[in-house]
């Protein structure tokens, strides 16, 4: 490649990466708002998450188009090829995290329509860990750091443990007491499941980073 083409190529790779990180910021904001609305009893914040999901979906489409353009115009190889393909995969994981944030927001609005449900506070520790693992996965991608990616994968065990504990707690409460809060408790169970799935998607991002750096596919290992 000539110097001019190389410069354009590097700029395109950088632009792709920056767009993925920007989308990641949008997704984290959606996650924060969805749980903030629940914990603060603010249905309007939850409504914003639902309304703003189109922005995340549009960003995914833009990143897909950028990635395909780089593949067609520059025919990258080796680590550059892995970075483009993995960036496209990562944006799809981010879009799915955004979808879970929307699901959390929708269920939060339903909870907040009913009587006060004290159990919503039990979501907070799991949310904190889910937020932490997504943020860590984006840091690992920003730095293209395999060590940080492996740290993200190890973090998922605690997310799973918190989800299991919360699910057991809520299921026992429903079985023992039932009553008017049963529907809200079921919504909280599904919110917990969404937060656990968000942790899994952060692991997917970390696995893509390992693929970029080492060409090793560690999925399902």
Mind listing the domains of the chain with CATH numbers?
A: 3-214 (1.20.58.220)
Q: How do residues 105-118 score in pLDDT, each as one tens digit? A: 999 999 999 888 88
Q: How do residues 160-209 score in pLDDT, each as one tens digit? A: 999 999 999 999 988 887 667 899 999 999 999 999 999 999 999 999 99
Tens of pLDDT along the chain (221 residues) come to 444 455 698 999 999 999 999 999 999 999 999 999 999 999 999 999 999 999 999 999 999 999 999 999 999 999 999 999 999 999 999 999 999 999 999 999 999 998 888 899 999 999 999 999 999 999 999 999 999 999 999 999 999 999 999 999 999 988 887 667 899 999 999 999 999 999 999 999 999 999 999 988 777 66
| Model pTM score | 0.94
User: What is the rounded CA–CA span in Å between residue 204 and residue 207?
Assistant: 5
User: What is the rounded CA–CA span in Å between residue 9 and residue 12?
Assistant: 5
User: What is the rounded CA–CA span in Å between residue 202 and residue 125?
Assistant: 17
Work out the end-to-end distance of the chain between its first and last CA atoms, rounded to an integer number of angstroms.
38
């Amino acid at each position: 490649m000539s110097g001019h083409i190389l410069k354009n190529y590097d700029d395109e790779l950088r632009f792709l990466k920056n767009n993925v990180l920007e989308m990641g910021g949008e997704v984290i904001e959606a996650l924060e708002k969805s749980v903030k609305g629940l914990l603060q009893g603010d249905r309007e914040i939850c409504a914003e998450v639902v309304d703003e999901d189109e922005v995340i979906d549009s960003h995914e489409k833009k990143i897909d188009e950028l990635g395909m353009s780089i593949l067609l115009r520059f025919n990258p190889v080796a680590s550059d090829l892995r970075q483009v393909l993995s960036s496209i995969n990562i944006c799809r994981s981010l879009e799915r995290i955004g979808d879970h944030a929307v699901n959390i927001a929708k269920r939060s609005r339903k909870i907040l329509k009913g009587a006060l449900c004290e159990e919503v506070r039990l979501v907070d520790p799991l949310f904190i860990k889910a937020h932490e693992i997504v943020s860590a996965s984006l840091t690992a991608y920003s730095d293209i750091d395999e060590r940080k990616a492996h740290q993200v994968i190890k973090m998922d065990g605690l997310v799973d443990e918190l989800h299991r504990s919360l699910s057991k707690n809520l299921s026992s409460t429903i079985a023992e007491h039932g009553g008017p809060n049963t529907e809200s408790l079921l919504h909280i169970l599904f919110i917990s499941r969404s937060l656990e799935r968000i942790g899994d998607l952060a692991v997917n991002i970390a696995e893509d980073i390992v693929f970029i750096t080492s060409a090793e596919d560690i999925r399902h290992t």
